[in-house]
Amino acid sequence: MPETSDPAPVSEEVLYSSFLVVCGLLTRAGSGVVRYRGERPGPEWYAHGTFDKRITVLKEGKPLQVVLRKQRWLLRGTNTTCHSRPPDDPIRVRFCVTIIVLRIWACLVSGVGFHRRARLHPAPEDGAGSGRTVQRWIARALRNALLVQQAIRQAILAMTRVEPRPEEDMSRRGRAPPAALLCRYRFNAVSATTLWRALDMLFVAAKQLPGDLALLLAEARRRWLARDDIFPL
């Protein structure tokens, strides 16, 4: 039997459905199809058909593949178009942000290597990205660790509506990452530590603040400093 880790569990309290599901923004348009209209980009833009994307979302802890039908808009007098994108619909990725974050977190808190890691319930595995896909997510998240941390902290402050005192600030409590994490990423320890603390702060906040994990991630995505990048990658 391979060695398994004993990771800190993610509370069921913070594992809600994806933003697309919990906020009721989707209007069912048929079997396996959900519609997202979004907001008109401006007064000169007009509805101009729809744009479909197949995406896997999280519903009650289980991956669910749907066709996301997004509203397309046309700028009057031109051939310029755009489409509305919900906050947990990453560019060029067919999994929602909630799934990406849970998969990355499960790997970061594992006490063993990637291929021998224990399943972190309730992080989804089946139908939520292959092992190679998750490795690519982790690599890119590490490269953007500081920006991820800043976006998450700003989202938490926005949810609390007040600047916390130093002793109450979840980002300044000095929570140390697992020793196994530093061992696995010894050549990139600073980024690994930053990313771990960012996601640890996220899950702590999701337990303490009104709302849920999906809403915090949506706020962080809105505040992502590089708007064309994939959050949190």
pLDDT tens digits along 134-180 = 888 888 899 889 888 988 888 888 877 655 544 345 555 556 787 87
Banded model confidence at residue 227, pLDDT cuts 50, 70, 90? low
Distance between CA atoms of residues 83 and 35, nearest Å: 12
Predicted structure pTM score: 0.79
* Least confident interval from 66-80, 104-118, 157-171, 216-230: 157-171
| Per-residue model confidence (pLDDT) at position 144 | 87
Nearest to 192 by CA among 76, 133, 114, 90: 114
User: What average pLDDT does the chain have?
Assistant: 76
* Spatial CB neighbours of 206, under 8 Å, sequence gap ≥ 6: 13, 14, 212, 213, 216
Distance between CA atoms of residues 108 and 114, nearest Å: 9
Looking at residues 96-102, what average pLDDT do you find?
87
Q: Determine contact, residues 36/86, Cβ cutoff 8 Å.
A: yes
Residue type at 196 in one-letter notation: W
Beta-strand relationship, 81-83 and 45-59: unpaired
> Per-residue pLDDT for 75 more than 90?
yes
* Spatial CB neighbours of 78, under 8 Å, sequence gap ≥ 6: none
Banded model confidence at residue 79, pLDDT cuts 50, 70, 90? very high
Q: Determine contact, residues 212/12, Cβ cutoff 8 Å.
A: no
| Per-residue model confidence (pLDDT) at position 166 | 42
